C-alpha cells in the first residue's frame, strides 16, 4: 500500500489539431476546466456556480462536464473534448460574485431556514453571514469571530483522541482503514496507529513532530495540521499546499466549516477542518499515471468534545430567529434583512 503518493510534475501536452491558434486557445480552456472540476465534486453544483460565476469558461466547462467523454480514459479524450467546443457559444454578460448585490444565494436562505427551525447550529448560520460580508452583499468592515479554541501554533489534540480515515488507491484492490490514537500531546506528539486491510491488521508507533512531519515504520499522509490556518496559508503536507477557500463539508450528516488547500499542480488537494486542523478529505490524482488516491475521515471523538466550547465568543440574539423567519417567509425583503444584520454587527449586538 502507498500511504503517501509521490508527486509527478504536470507535463505540457501539445496536440496537433486543425487550426493552431484555435487549438491552443481551446486546449487551455480544457486545462482550466480540469483545474476547477474537483471543486464541483466537493461543493456540489449550486455552491460551485456561486464560486465560479465570474469564471470566463464556466459555460464551456459545463459543456465538457455533461459529456461522458469527460470521465473517460480514452487516449483521444482531449481531442474529442476539443471538438465539442468547436461550435462558438453566444456568451452573455455574467455578474461578478464580488459586486454589491441584494440577491442572496438560495443555499444561504436554506441554511437560515433550518437554523431558525433548530435544525442547524449557530456556526452554520454565521458561515452564511461571513460569506455575504466577503462577497460585499453586507458592507460592514468588521473582524469576524474565529471559533478556534485551540492553542496557537499547536496541534488541536489531547490524550486518547482518535482520528480514523478510509484510504483508497485505484492501483490497489483494497480499502485501508487507519486509526490514529493520541498517546501524549507534546512535542513530538506520540501516536499509535492501527491499519486494517484485507491482508490483516498492522500496528505502528509514530510521532508527529512540531513541523508536521511524521516518523514511523512507513510513510504517512498528514492527518492533522497545526492551528490556526487561514486563507493564504502555505502548509507543508505531502507537498506544499496553499489554502484557497473556505467551504462547508458534510461529515456524518453535519456541516463542518472547512478550508480547501491545493498544491501548485492542482493534482492534490486537502479539505481541512477549520476548528481542529483534522484532515477531512484528501485526493491525489496523477494525470500521467491515471491513478487516484483518497483519504476520507470516517470517525473521530474530537468533534463531539469541541461542540461544548466552540460558541463561547459567538453572539446571536435569540430574538433574531424571528427576523430570519420573517425573511425566509417573504415578509421582509433581502435588503431589509441585510440592513438588519449590518446594523447588529456595527453596534456589536451580534458577533459571528
Residues 214-234 pLDDT 10s: 887 777 889 999 888 888 889
Mean pLDDT comparison of 22-36, 47-61, 172-186, highest-scoring range: 172-186
Tell me how far apart the alpha carbons of residues 130 and 246 are, in angstroms, rounded to a whole number: 10
What mean pLDDT do residues 237-265 have? 87
Q: How confident is the model at residue 255 (pLDDT cuts 50, 70, 90)?
A: confident
Instruction: Tell whether 252 and 189 lie within a shared domain.
Output: yes
Domain span at residue 43 reads 20-84
Task: Please compute, for residue 1, the number of CA atoms within 13 A of its CA located in the half-sphere on the CB side.
Answer: 25
State whether 319 and 294 are in the same domain. no
Distance, in Å, from the CA atom of 306 to the CA atom of 149, rounded to the nearest integer, reads: 8
Same domain for 129 and 66? no
**What number of other Cβ atoms are within 10 A of residue 351's Cβ?**
15
| pLDDT (average), residues 12-41 | 62
Same domain, 79 and 131: no
Residue 227 lies in a domain: yes
Confidence class of residue 94 from pLDDT cuts 50, 70 and 90?
A: very low
Q: Are residues 286 and 174 both part of a single domain? A: yes
Is 89 inside any structural domain? no
Q: Are residues 118 and 172 in the same domain?
A: no
Q: What is the pLDDT of residue 87?
A: 54
Average pLDDT on 155-182 reads: 92
Q: How many domains does the chain contain in total?
A: 3
Does 152 reside within a domain? no
In a domain, 13, yes or no: no
Q: 278 - beta bridge partners?
A: 224
169 and 295 in a single domain? The answer is yes
In this structure, the answer to whether residues 201 and 274 fall within a common structural domain is yes
Statement: residue 171 has pLDDT above 60? yes
Same domain, 174 and 260: yes
Helix (H, G, I), strand (E, B) or coil at 165: strand
- Cα–Cα distance measured from residue 287 to residue 290, given in angstroms and rounded to the nearest whole number: 5
Q: Are residues 201 and 68 in the same domain?
A: no
Residue 222 lies in a domain: yes
Residues 220 and 323 in one domain: no
In a domain, 61, yes or no: yes
261 with 241, same domain: the answer is yes
Is 73 domain-assigned? yes
**Residue 89 predicted with pLDDT over 50:** no
Regarding predicted confidence, which is higher, 89 or 31?
31
Mean pLDDT of the residues in the chain: 79
Amino acid at each position: 500500500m502507498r500511504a503517501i503518493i509521490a508527486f509527478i510534475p504536470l507535463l505540457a501536452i501539445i496536440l496537433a489539431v486543425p487550426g493552431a491558434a484555435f487549438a491552443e486557445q481551446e486546449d487551455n480552456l480544457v486545462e482550466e476546466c480540469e483545474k476547477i472540476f474537483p471543486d464541483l465534486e466537493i461543493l456540489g453544483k449550486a455552491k460551485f456556480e456561486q464560486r465560479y460565476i465570474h469564471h470566463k469558461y464556466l459555460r464551456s466547462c459545463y459543456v465538457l462536464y455533461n459529456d461522458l467523454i469527460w470521465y473517460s480514459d480514452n487516449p483521444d479524450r482531449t481531442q474529442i473534448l476539443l471538438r465539442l467546443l468547436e461550435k462558438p457559444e453566444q456568451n452573455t454578460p455574467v455578474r461578478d460574485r464580488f459586486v454589491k448585490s441584494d440577491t442572496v444565494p438560495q443555499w444561504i436562505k436554506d441554511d437560515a431556514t433550518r437554523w431558525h427551525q433548530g435544525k442547524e447550529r449557530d456556526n452554520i448560520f454565521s458561515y452564511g453571514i461571513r460569506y455575504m460580508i466577503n462577497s460585499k452583499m453586507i458592507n460592514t468592515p468588521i473582524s469576524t469571530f474565529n471559533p478556534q479554541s485551540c492553542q496557537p501554533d499547536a496541534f488541536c489534540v489531547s490524550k486518547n483522541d482518535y482520528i480514523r480515515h478510509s484510504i483508497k488507491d485505484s492501483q490497489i484492490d483494497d480499502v485501508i482503514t487507519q486509526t490514529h490514537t493520541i498517546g501524549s500531546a507534546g512535542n513530538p506528539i506520540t501516536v499509535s496507529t492501527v491499519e486494517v486491510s484485507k491482508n490483516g491488521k498492522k500496528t505502528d508507533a509514530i510521532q508527529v513532530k512540531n513541523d508536521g512531519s511524521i516518523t514511523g515504520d512507513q510513510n504517512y499522509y498528514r492527518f492533522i495540521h497545526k492551528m490556526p490556518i487561514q486563507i493564504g496559508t502555505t502548509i507543508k503536507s505531502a507537498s506544499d499546499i496553499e489554502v484557497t477557500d473556505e467551504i462547508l463539508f458534510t461529515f456524518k450528516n453535519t456541516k463542518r466549516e472547512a478550508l480547501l488547500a491545493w498544491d501548485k499542480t492542482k493534482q492534490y488537494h486537502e479539505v481541512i477542518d477549520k476548528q481542529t486542523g483534522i484532515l477531512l478529505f484528501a485526493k491525489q490524482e496523477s494525470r500521467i499515471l491515471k491513478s487516484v488516491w483518497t483519504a476520507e475521515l470516517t470517525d473521530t471523538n474530537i468533534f463531539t468534545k469541541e461542540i461544548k466550547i466552540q460558541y463561547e465568543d459567538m453572539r446571536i440574539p435569540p430574538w433574531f430567529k424571528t427576523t430570519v423567519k420573517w425573511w425566509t417567509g417573504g415578509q421582509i425583503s433581502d435588503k431589509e434583512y441585510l440592513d438588519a444584520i449590518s446594523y447588529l454587527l456595527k453596534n456589536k449586538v451580534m458577533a459571528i
